[in-house]
Amino acid sequence: MSTAVSPLAPTEVPDMPAIDGVKLATASAGIRYKGRTDVLLAVMDAGTTVAGVFTKSKCPSAPVEWCRAKLPRGKARALVVNSGNANAFTGKTGRQATTLTADIAAKALRCSAGDIFLASTGVIGEPLDATKFNGVLGTLAEQAVPGEWMSAAKAIMTTDTFPKVATSSVKLGRATVTINGMAKGAGMIAPDMATMLSFIFTDAPISATALQLLLKSGVEDTFNAVTIDGDTSTSDTLLAFATGAAAANGAPKISRASDPRLKAFTKAFRAVLANLAEQVARDGEGARKLVEIIVEGATTKASARKIAMSIANSPLVKTAIAGEDANWGRVVMAVGKAGEPANRDKLTISFNGIRVAKSGARDPSYDEAQVSAAMKNPKIQIKVALGLGKGRDRVLTCDLTKEYVAINGDYRS
């Protein structure tokens, strides 16, 4: 884990309120790191519903497979997360580790192992010694208290330089409900569903079916629109838990995602996802620039997404931004290789609102000094107008620096 906080880290951390029906506790189990917490236990009241989306990797971790198998039940009593070891590519040993972890947690909480959800993050390919959870989870079950959100977010970090949390409150019926979220992720980020790990909690009374639809649609323009390095993790897990405690205060029980009473909640829910997704981009390994890429005038939104991701994942584009060079030639390259409809002679490109290319050539009013000054900003916006249709999309990424190579070159050593 890096010790220097990203220069792009948020300047303010939200006050994270307690959520009825959720208690948190963290501990150090010595999974990989020394002198820091590496285990999180979140305990939920009986009746809590759960939804989840996971990596599309064909080589998923054992915890991802565990959660997929338990998700159809739609019920959860606890979440156990460890950092330092992803329990991925660990074969039969990995599956045994998930079973043992869930059994230990279930015994401590006196519930079914099927109501325990698991997530692991860290090194791939090394066996996870789940016996280290013996005693630890029992103690955490006794110590769990409401409101320990920052401690929880810190316990799930690996190469992250700051804990990532977000919150929102909104009216649902006569009650005010709260949505809290945390995330971890700084590298191996090209989500095909969510970030490496992210967890959302609310006291709203929402059925598992409605929550699942809300989550699946919510990730498309948030976590799925973020990339750090183009690599999709084996461990990507985004889980949402709804305790339903707000029903006692007048919140209506929601069974359908299309329920009109859910409109404000849906907006707030997506805002929390978007906030966390941006924090992941801000904490990209070695990042010094937050990069927003907007593609408009594409034939479809899906086409705009592919072109935007082509730009965002280009090492040449990302290193140019790190060097504060508005190299639009590299953007043209990334547009052209995306395999989507594009017309070179209609392309318009701008950096931070300054047009550098128009109609397939350098803009006649291009001013090198003006653009160079703009590229020194910590946030860079690249806008590409294709001039072909009404398709538009936006993705977030960061620059690619020498620090990224250093972090990943030393990750296992």
Is 285 annotated as ligand-binding? Answer: yes
Residue with tokens 């205060």: 249
Report the SS3 class of residue 147.
coil
Nearest-angstrom CA–CA distance, 305 and 9: 26
If residue 237 lies in a helix (H) or strand (E), which one and from where to where? strand 237-242
Token readout for 404 is 């990224």
Nearest-angstrom CA–CA distance, 91 and 182: 29
Is 184 annotated as ligand-binding? Answer: yes
Distance set, CA 309 to CA 80, 101, 104 (Å): 33, 37, 42
Nearest-angstrom CA–CA distance, 10 and 13: 7
Active centre residues (catalytic): 195
Nearest-angstrom CA–CA distance, 315 and 204: 42
Whether 39 and 155 have beta carbons less than 8 Å apart is answered as yes
Report the SS3 class of residue 73.
helix
Distance set, CA 216 to CA 118, 136, 270, 308 (Å): 19, 33, 11, 21
Please, which residues have CB within 8 angstroms of residue 217's CB and are 6 or more apart in sequence?
Answer: 257
DSSP state of 359: T
Nearest-angstrom CA–CA distance, 213 and 265: 13
Is 413 annotated as ligand-binding? Answer: yes
Residue 194, burial from CB neighbour count under 10 angstroms (0-12, 13-18, 19+): buried
Helices (DSSP H) in 339-387: which residue ranges?
368-374
β-pairing, 78-85 vs 116-123, is: parallel
Is 408 annotated as ligand-binding? Answer: yes
- Residue set of the binding site for substrate: 158, 184, 195, 285, 408, 413
